[in-house]
Amino acid sequence: MYRLLPILIVSLLLAGLVSCDAGLTGNLKENQPPRTFLTVDEINLDQDNSTERRLISQVHISWWGDDPDGYVVAFEYAITDRDWLYTPQTEDEVEWSYTERTDSVFVLPIPPGEKAADIRFTVRAIDNEGLRDPEGASVVFPIENSPPVVNIHRINTPQQEMEAPPDTTYHIASIGWTATDPDGDDNLSHFEVVMNDTLGEWTTIPVDVSFLSLRITEPAGDQTSAAVFLGRNFSRSDIVLDNIQMDSENTFYIRAVDNADARSPIDSLSWYIKEQTSRVLVINDYAGVARQEAMTRHRQILRDLGIDRFDYIATLDGAASGGQKVPISTAFHRPVDPTLNRVLAEWDHIYWVSDDLDRNITYALRSTIGFFENGGTMFINIPTKTLNEDDAIFNFLPFERLEQVPAGLNSFQIPNNTRLLPVDPQNLDTLRVTRDSQSAFPLFPAGDTRLFYDAEFRTRPFFDPSLEFSRLLVSGSADNSIIFFGFQLERIEAGEPLNRTMRYFLEELNFPVD
């Protein structure tokens, strides 16, 4: 009896369920739309509606959604004028943007020429069946536009010293700048530049450009134009800047323009533009006390060889001391790549004079790439000194390293009246030293080094003639692009032997010798 009771109860329940199912009627409930909420749904101004209390146009907005019978998968938002919800607009007239985010930073648009605007932001949730919130959530942002700011980089500006022209340039100059907008940098529209006259026609520069280069196209005459190259990759453009004054100080003006057509205060930079008059460039990097004497000798040599016209850059600033390299001269254009490379490539021949291997010749490897690619040649006169064997300069100069001082000795020297002996006596004269050098190092040639002169080096504090070491003092590269003279020419006896030697060297380098 008791065992049958549970079975009877289950049977009765099943019978009841069948009876109920037979009489079940009605419709399934339709999918309900999601709802959308904004973190901030209202922004109130003071009664006077003062623009001083308005928001900047860059705002952070966040939202969320809820669905009563499913889940929210995404959102759509629209940015319009404040009254669009209350005017007879169709769905197609509003541009909705899809997102799966629940917050973002927006730069709300202000109509061009207007300082302030009321902009409506509307967002609506989308559920897992694609149904959208029919009402959405909306808030009006009272915003105002702030003008942008632009600042030209200058050589003495910290961390921006590599993007500015020196006080004087020839036919190429580069200018970099930084621009910001209080309403967000996405609010920047473009830049406008002009040369020498802010009342003239301004030229538009794209907003993604913050560095440009000018190259004089027609240098003849007092006034000329420059082609504009955009970016550090020196990209050619169709832009031309007019009203450039040759052999005169010029001023570059720039202003930033935002999407509301507001313009920044103007920034400007002035420098002197010289006309290039020769295919030969003399670089005077001689910073010592004998600078004037040295350049007098070199100028005389060039005149004696018929090179009486050349362009000139003096890189006399900075000091190389304690084995430290001198900072690259402010007389050189910044940055090295691409600008200084392009600047030096404007000449066919460079005559480089210095009194220290730790001075600006250090940067020649990086700054003369274009010069040598164009077939340029270079004569270098710098006294030798002790350098670390891993010094990068050995990747540039035409020898492998400098000879090491033999054990137990202090240094090499070239005393007064020492002879410089030509490796090829048929083409070169013996030269005589008129002032000694207490510290001079022989060049250790690489496999393809051209050998020109040996010196009768001595060692200090005593001399052992049985010592074996390189005595090379003047060498050249195998491709005839560089000749390096490792002793000051002003310490060598002047006259026909020196002139014939220099004529031979410069002719080897295809200088325009008369």
Peptide bond into 461 cis (omega under 30): yes
Backbone angles phi, psi at 166, to 5 degrees: -75, -175
Residue 485: strand, helix, or coil: strand
Q: Identify the band that residue 160 occupies on the pLDDT scale cut at 50, 70 and 90.
A: very low
Beta bridge partners, 204, equal: 192
Residue 373: strand, helix, or coil: helix
Q: Are strands 280-285 and 311-314 parallel, antiparallel or unpaired?
A: parallel
The predicted-structure confidence for 377-421, as pLDDT tens digits, reads as follows 999 999 999 898 899 999 999 999 999 998 889 889 999 999 999
The CATH number given to 149-273 is 2.60.40.10
Count the Cβ atoms, other than its own, within 10 Å of residue 39. 13
Q: What is the DSSP string of 164-220?
A: ---SEESSEEEEEEEEE-TT-GGGEEEEEEEES-TTS--EEEETT--EEEEEES--S
Continuous segment of H or E residues that includes residue 300: helix 291-304
Higher pLDDT, 120 or 41: 120
Cα distance between residue 319 and residue 326, in whole Å: 5
Q: Is the pLDDT of residue 5 over 70?
A: no
Q: Is the pLDDT of residue 26 over 60?
A: no
Q: Is the pLDDT of residue 443 over 70?
A: yes
Q: If 0-12 CB within 10 Å is exposed, 13-18 middle and 19+ buried, where does residue 446 land?
A: middle
Cα distance between residue 14 and residue 21, in whole Å: 11
The rounded radius of gyration (Å) of the Cα atoms in the chain is 39
The CATH number given to 280-508 is 3.40.50.880
Question: Scanning the structure block, which residue is given the tokens 């070491």?
Answer: 469
Count the Cβ atoms, other than its own, within 10 Å of residue 248. 13
Range 298-325 average pLDDT: 92
Assess whether the region 35-144 and the region 280-508 belong to the same CATH fold. no
Q: Is the pLDDT of residue 22 over 80?
A: no
pTM above 0.85, yes or no: no
Q: Identify the band that residue 14 occupies on the pLDDT scale cut at 50, 70 and 90.
A: very low
Domain ranges of the chain: 35-144, 149-273, 280-508
Q: Identify the band that residue 3 occupies on the pLDDT scale cut at 50, 70 and 90.
A: very low
At 482, list the tokens.
């560089």
Residue 296 is classified by DSSP as H
Q: Is the pLDDT of residue 193 over 80?
A: yes
Higher pLDDT, 390 or 282: 282
At 369, list the tokens.
């790439």
At 99, list the tokens.
């997102």
Range 322-341 average pLDDT: 89
Backbone angles phi, psi at 321, to 5 degrees: -145, 155
Residue 247 is classified by DSSP as T
- pLDDT (0 to 100) of residue 112: 82
Peptide bond into 445 cis (omega under 30): no
Q: Is the pLDDT of residue 322 over 90?
A: no
Residue 104: strand, helix, or coil: strand
Beta bridge partners, 139, equal: 121
Q: Domain 35-144 belongs to what topology? A: Immunoglobulin-like (2.60.40)
